[in-house]
Amino acid sequence: MSTNAVDSKTAGVRNERLVIELLRSEGGLSQAEICENIGLGSSTISYIVGRLREKSLIVERPGQSSKRGAKPILIDINPAGQFIVGTEINPSYILTGLFDFRSELVDQIKVSLDSGHSVENVVHLLEVNIKGLLSKNDISQDKLTGVGMTLSGSISSKGVVQLSSPMGWKNVPLKELLRQKFDCSVNIYTTKVRLLAEMNTQPVLSSKNIVYLNVGNGVGTTVIIDGRLIHGSTNRCGELGHIVIDSNGPVCGCGRRGCLEAHISGPAIAKKIKEDLAAGTSSILSESLTEQDASEDTAEKWKQAIADSDEYAIRLCEFVADKLSRAAAIAINLYDPDMFILAGYISMVCSEYFIERIKNRFETDVYDEPSRNIEVITARSGQQALIRGVAVAVLQEQLKLE
Ligand SMILES: [Zn+2]
């Protein structure tokens, strides 16, 4: 093939992706509007639309015309044109979501990992779950164009899980193992993809400088500056979870003492509640909590206890707000964002109080705070944040313009 032929093929793929991107964000456009938006001639757009029609990636319907004459044909993304799978692997469960070409969740399956964390077991469950979801929804495997996974840990660009302490994995070639099971692209992501889900849910965020703090099993931070995800030299940019808040505090998973994570992560709070109750603190939580409760259950019961005006439950909010707001102020001084997003249990348990305390702390601890305009909001992408974020990352990868 001549260089020119390669160039024109690349340009063709690029133009096709541009049209798909446009239709995914706008939708319902006539060919003339597509030409205008992309700046290509009508014959080129006609050709691209024809190719997308052949691949069943678009649907067409008559639109409304304000003037007399033929109604324009409006072109839209065909949600059933392609499907993507996004999976969250964590020590308690595997959550797998099937997403359509619009990134809408079609169906999901959650299985517990009581059967063990061995790589063989997890890969087997992933294969069974994904193929099961496809067949349950009558979707053939050739419609599946991408599979993405996320888990807590450090992940190489080749999809090797170098270290995942929660899963007890070291140097696991997860991408390669899964590629043997699926005839489509496979990618492994860090949990930073959460923020992509948030941006997908709240498109207004796409132009912001954002610090996104997720408090779940650990404390993770994602930073977007000038619209770009910041990784750092070892992928650890924004490790707010390991800022030492109190050097006499509890021992952290990282081996040091008093990190933010050791104070306010879900498991840290669950542990603190147990210890406080065992030491004789009076609270209605002593009746509702059980040994089997995961940290998510504890957060739910804590929230209920606050609603019931339990004094201890309210004091616990003050404890978290104090640590959280100190870390938030440090993040503002470091990254200069215009938006701070709270995610995880802190977005579900007394979030308004946390937001108020964070804003108060900004007034005292943030340099030149009056001249800044920092919004503090809670995440909206909910329980599906990780699988949705993975699905968005997979699609972005597929539509990437070289
Ligand atoms: Zn730590």
Task: Find the 243 Cα to ligand 1 centroid distance in Å.
Answer: 7
Query: Nearest Cα to 25, choosing from 399, 381, 394, 380?
Result: 399
Task: Find the 65 Cα to ligand 1 centroid distance in Å.
Answer: 61
Query: What distance in Å separates the CA atoms of residue 79 and residue 196, rounded to the nearest whole number?
Result: 20
Task: Find the 35 Cα to ligand 1 centroid distance in Å.
Answer: 53
Q: Name the pTM for this structure.
A: 0.76
Specify whether the CB–CB gap between 112 and 92 falls below 8 A: yes
pLDDT of 1 higher than 60: no
Q: What is the pLDDT of residues 39-66, one digit of tens each?
A: 888 899 899 999 999 999 999 988 876 6
Task: Find the 260 Cα to ligand 1 centroid distance in Å.
Answer: 7
Task: Find the 363 Cα to ligand 1 centroid distance in Å.
Answer: 27
CATH placement of domain 81-193+386-398? 3.30.420.40
Q: What are the residues whose beta carbons fall under 8 Å from the beta carbon of 138, sequence distance 6 or more?
A: none
Query: What distance in Å separates the CA atoms of residue 14 and residue 399, rounded to the nearest whole number?
Result: 9
Answer yes or no: same fold for 81-193+386-398 and 203-379. Answer: yes
Fold designation for 203-379: Nucleotidyltransferase; domain 5 (3.30.420)
Q: Please name the residue that has the structure tokens 């164009």.
A: 145
Task: Find the 250 Cα to ligand 1 centroid distance in Å.
Answer: 10
Domain boundaries, the chain: 3-77, 81-193+386-398, 203-379
Mean pLDDT of the chain: 89
Task: Find the 123 Cα to ligand 1 centroid distance in Å.
Answer: 29
- Ion ligand 1 residue ranges (Cβ < 5 Å): 242, 252, 254, 259
Specify whether the CB–CB gap between 401 and 20 falls below 8 A: no
pLDDT of 116 higher than 90: no
| Mean pLDDT within 229-258 | 87
Task: Find the 265 Cα to ligand 1 centroid distance in Å.
Answer: 11
Q: ∠ CA 203-206-209 to the nearest 5 degrees?
A: 135
Q: What is the pLDDT of residues 304-357, one digit of tens each?
A: 999 999 999 999 999 999 999 999 999 999 999 999 999 988 888 889 999 999
Q: What are the residues whose beta carbons fall under 8 Å from the beta carbon of 402, sequence distance 6 or more?
A: 10, 14
More reliable by pLDDT, 275 or 164: 275
DSSP state of 87: E
Task: Find the 247 Cα to ligand 1 centroid distance in Å.
Answer: 11
| Mean pLDDT within 251-272 | 91
Q: What are the residues whose beta carbons fall under 8 Å from the beta carbon of 145, sequence distance 6 or more?
A: 82, 83, 84, 184, 185, 398
pLDDT of 122 higher than 90: yes
Q: What is the pLDDT of residues 148-196, one digit of tens each?
A: 999 988 888 889 998 887 788 999 999 999 999 998 999 999 888 888 8
Q: What is the pLDDT of residues 285-313, one digit of tens each?
A: 988 888 777 777 888 899 999 999 999 99
The torsion angles phi and psi of 197, rounded to 5 degrees, stand at -65, -40
Query: Nearest Cα to 192, choosing from 152, 234, 156, 233?
Result: 152
- Tokens found for residue 296: 């998510």
Q: What is the pLDDT of residues 70-108, one digit of tens each?
A: 778 899 999 999 999 999 998 889 999 999 998 899 999
Task: Find the 153 Cα to ligand 1 centroid distance in Å.
Answer: 14
Task: Find the 241 Cα to ligand 1 centroid distance in Å.
Answer: 6
CATH placement of domain 3-77? 1.10.10.10
For the chain, the distance separating the N- and C-terminal CA atoms, rounded to the nearest angstrom, is: 20
Element (H, E) at 300: helix 295-307
Query: What distance in Å separates the CA atoms of residue 169 and residue 155, rounded to the nearest whole number?
Result: 11
Task: Find the 163 Cα to ligand 1 centroid distance in Å.
Answer: 16
Task: Find the 60 Cα to ligand 1 centroid distance in Å.
Answer: 54
